Amino acid sequence: MFEIMTRFFRFCGTKNKHKFYLAVAIGIVNSFFMALRIGAVAVMLRGIIESLQDKAPFGTGTIKLSFAIMLCSIIGSIITKKTMTMLQTEAGYSTCANKRIEIAEHLRYLPMGYFNANSLGYITSVTTNTMEMLGDVATRVVMMVSQGILDTALIIVMIAFFDWRIALIATAGFALFFVINSLMRMNVRSISAEKAKADSTAVEQVLEYIQGIAEVKAYNMTGRQSEKLNKSIAESVRVNTAMEFKCIPLSNVQSLVAKFTGVAVLLASIYFYLQGTMQLADCATMLVCSFMLFTALEVGGNYSALLRTVDLSVEKATEILDLPTMDIEGKDIVPQDTSIQADNISFSYTKNGQAEIIQKGRTIINDVSLTIPAKTTTAVVGPSGSGKSTLCHLFARFWDVDSGTISLGTANIRDYSIDSLMKNFSFVFQNVYLFQDTIANNIRFGEPDAPMEKVIEAAKKASCHEFISALPDGYNTVIGEGGANLSGGEKQRISIARAIMKDSPVIVLDEATANVDPENERELVAAISELTKEKTVIMIAHRLKTVRNADQIIVLNDGQIAEKGKHEELMKKGGIYARFVSDRREAVSWRL
């Protein structure tokens, strides 16, 4: 129990950990004020009994002393309870927020393969459900358990001042309570991991169902897909119910131990009084204490079953934070020029557990060397799976190469800090992702504080100012997540405006015009032309018109450079590129 709480406090970080420790310290003071009620009751009972025995009037001094002690107890417990609750609430929610940010920052420096191998549902589950549970439930569980222990321990100490024998009985009940509590937590441990997995799976299935709803409806798979979703939800219900049933029996036994200990204190006090070894006033005080003894501990004990779940949640978050990042200890370098040099680079993927990490495996890029001069256009072509996208992503260090080196300017890209390296690259992908925000904020994504004039200027250059202005709220139009309420060409042009705003010296166009209809193609080509002025351009393309004017064409096949040169040179060779052009011309000539 204490090990789990210590691990949780350590997970919270230095600042929040100290807040929790301070909350525990104030909790001790709070327990002391709560225990003062026994003193107030004892003073009052002693005064009443003595006045009855002496047949003397009940003195106002006793009433005032008892009232003063009770008032001190009430005011002190209110102040300490408020302070303690505020500290633990601030620390809990601050931990939740900080860890979400920390996980987001950590994900920035993981190899891109991690995201290929891990479902969105898992990451979403950790950053939402898990963090919310830690910020809310875990905080209360940990503090209620610790406060229950403190309250009961101080009441036992207070009892010891009256009669050590009663304190010994209470201590025995206290120890037996913890034995039962340990058994309950051991019983829950066997199903806690299953519960965490079932909850994550349910989140994954909900996300998958919602994201793929168009395909589900299109292929009339609504029943089958919903059955899969329902099964995951039913499994979550089953596991959570099973966990409750594992807790309930021992929780009841735990409660009975607390109640019977109170009864034992009550009976022992009466027995000692009848034997003449305890004064009537002390006996009456012990009777009151028997009802107060385990009140806080019972509540904390019942919640302690969730400590294992808290521990698993900490493990899940720590698991992501412990994933090895790429070597990011670089310098903030400004390249002398934007030429790119690759020397004998090789790269391969392999799967290891949940994360797809870089090791020896299926070779994607095999001993490739090339030079891309600054402010030139290089086209990368080749059959599907030849490594085109992977090669371009290696230039921006989305992954680290297995062997060889890549340089930007005169410096190895590993010598750059990730942030200073990424300042030099802008990407326009085939599949554009836009955030659920205003169009203006999507365009200024890389420069959040950019003035509206600059946003409009970038939009005009990207040939999207006209259609944006025609929208009901113009640049303040909130677009759906992923840009769901815009056409493919409109999304592409907004992404180009975003890249223009960033104004990086190296532009990577990954099949940027592949899925664009003819009506949008003219504007898109104009936007790309504006984006790539005086830039180092690397394009992956299948359309002949976007390739033939490149300064050099790299033809990849099976991860190696099969051909390299200008359009005319490669056409004369009659190799892979010439066949590529011939196939495209034949496809274009087809008519219905």
For residue range 404-414, list pLDDT tens digits in order.
999 998 888 88
Q: Is the pLDDT of residue 153 over 80?
A: yes
d(C-alpha 574, C-alpha 576), whole Å:
7
Whether residue 132 contacts residue 81, with contact meaning beta carbons closer than 8 Å, is answered with no
Confidence category of residue 326, pLDDT binned at 50, 70, 90: confident
Q: What was the pLDDT predicted at 568?
A: 86
In this structure, the dihedral spanned by the alpha carbons of residues 382, 383, 386 and 391, taken in order and rounded to 10 degrees, is 40
Q: Which two tokens stand for residue 176?
A: 């037996």
- Residue 583, pLDDT > 60, answer yes
Answer whether residue 225 shows pLDDT above 70: no
pLDDT at 360: 42
- Percent of the chain that is helix, strand, coil (3-state, to 5): 65, 15, 20
DSSP state of 134: I
pLDDT score, position 324: 75
Residue 349: strand, helix, or coil: strand
Q: Which of 43-52, 85-94, 431-440 is least confident? A: 43-52
Beta strands, E only, 373-417: 377-381, 403-408, 411-412
**Residue 536 pairs with which residues in a beta bridge?**
506
Name the pLDDT band for 591 (thresholds 50, 70, 90).
very low
Torsion angles phi and psi, residue 279, rounded to 5: -70, 155
> What tokens appear for 227 in the block?
């059955």
- Model confidence at 572: pLDDT above 70: yes
Maximal C-alpha separation, the chain: 125
> How high is the pLDDT of residue 303?
65
Report in angstroms the alpha-carbon separations of 90 from 81, 140, 207, 286: 14, 12, 31, 38
The residues, ordered by sequence, that sit 6+ positions from 273 with a Cβ below 8 Å of its Cβ are 279, 280, 282, 283
pLDDT given at position 407: 92
Please report the pLDDT score of residue 584 as a whole number: 66
The sheet with strand 560-565 has its strands ordered as 425-429, 506-510, 536-540, 377-381, 552-557, 560-565
pLDDT tens-digit series, residues 190-207: 676 677 777 767 777 776
For residues 443-461, average pLDDT: 86
- pLDDT digits over 471-492, tens only? 888 889 888 765 656 777 788 8
Q: What percent of the chain has pLDDT over 70?
A: 82
Residue 455 has pLDDT above 50, yes or no: yes
pLDDT of 82 > 70? The answer is yes
The pLDDT value recorded for residue 458 is: 87
pLDDT, position 305: 60
Residue 75 has a pLDDT of 93
pLDDT score of 543 more than 70: no
Residue 562 DSSP SS3: strand
Collect all residues with Cβ–Cβ distance below 8 Å to 469 and sequence separation of at least 6: none
Task: Label residue 168 by pLDDT band (50, 70, 90).
Answer: very high
Is 50 exceeded by the pLDDT of residue 238? yes
**Residue 511 has what DSSP assignment?**
S
- Burial of residue 379 (number of CB atoms within 10 Å: 0-12, 13-18, 19+): buried
Between 231 and 203, the more confident residue is 231
Span of 9-13, 112-116, 278-282, 364-368 with lowest mean pLDDT: 112-116
Q: Residue 356 has what pLDDT?
A: 40
How far apart (Å, rounded) are the C-alpha atoms in residues 532 and 156? 78
pLDDT tens sequence across 248-302? 787 788 788 888 888 898 899 899 988 889 888 888 888 888 877 777 677 666 6
Of residues 396 and 480, more confidently modeled: 396
3-state SS record for 299-335? HHHHHHHHHHHHHHHHHHHHHHHCCCCCCCCCECCCC
- Tell me the average pLDDT across 327-343: 84
Q: What percent of the chain has pLDDT over 90?
A: 5
Its sign, for the CA torsion 450, 452, 456, 459, is positive
- pLDDT bin (cut points 50, 70, 90) of residue 351 is very low
550 vs 195 pLDDT, higher one: 550
Model pLDDT, residue 354: 36
pLDDT class of 464 with cuts at 50, 70, 90: confident
Residue 335 has pLDDT above 50, yes or no: yes
Higher pLDDT residue, 388 or 122?
A: 388
Between helix 307-321 and helix 60-108 the angle, nearest 10°, is 30
Region 87-93: mean pLDDT is: 84
Q: Is 184 exposed, middle or buried (0-12, 13-18, 19+ CB in 10 A)?
A: buried
Place of tokens 């898990």: 130
Query: What SS3 string covers 472-498?
Result: CCHHHCECCHHHCCCCHHHHHHHHHHH
The mean pLDDT of 112-135, rounded to a whole number, is 69
